[in-house]
Chains A and B, each alone.
Chain A
């Protein structure tokens, strides 16, 4: 067919969001498209800004705990872990081994729950309805355990500075072991349903290519960087809490496309199951709480505490001036930095792939806006 170079097509500006079912929250993307290709994508964020950092300056260290849950709601236990570790490091509090193990159990369960939500919603984004329902059924088992333990289903406020709200309920270990027995088989089922489905594969392979160089320039972390072949996992790099005592692999894929990131997350769920099984075996008996002064006044200083959230490197930067309230608290939110790379991924992609690419980098909008 004859093509003429002086023939210009007109570029079209379309607005995706702020209220769009596939943007996982309130995200507005302004896409400049040329035919079916995205020329430029500009994300607009801030619709869910809740001034978490300003609130921290008006609350005491204990009072801020429930707020830490609330900004990345799919990973509430992980956020609590980051905050509580930062405060304990600042105050020089050592928690008991049993408490550490329970915290890791909770964080890993939450990682599975978060990845299940990712799996289900990615299915929705790519036009498959069943995985969403099945994943939420499995997630329900975890949420039920959280409810029995902490008394809430989504925003737990279970960790305390120097310990936990209460010990595990008596049926917890059996229920969790039961879940861990059947869950790997369920992952296989969902792989048959979605991951190995040829339509899904052809849809996801080769889109949203993320190179290691791009990851460095944009400080991309979490499953996204591991999908680009770099084994960067804070659990291994920092080795916080009891992770050095546990055996687990860091799944990586060299391809760097959306499908690679998806495979990394699926494999991470298996690794979390492995971690949880070891934790249940090693869970020591004993006290869960240590004595903490009623009026908590850390020394003057600052800490930057990093943990691995399901979305990447989550850090809590806490500055104390010696009073009861933090002088400054800053969240290094993984979604905030991972979303920044989206315009690069969308350049030259098809419009129809936009939602798939956005789904594959797995952002949570309150985490972006804080």
Chain B
């Protein structure tokens, strides 16, 4: 957590996560875990007309995995499935995270993205 401003931003996002909690109306959900540290995240998603109409998450784990899930859900909400599949990469989350992630911490940041990709692969794309 590289400087004071970034730290404040990250901790604020950790304490006030975006799109947090189970959706009342969702089509699919998927839980994923990082066995190394015990982080677990569940993603809920509502699809309408090939678009991610709504998305949320629940998480137990470290700051990095929580904050990454907030950023991910904010970025992909409203996105077409085609756009997500063709253009959205983990790097899109990483650059918004503003952190130099070490090898071990990158796994925390990737967790929600990997769950979303796997959820869509299992069910839709």
Are the chains A and B members of one assembly? Answer: no
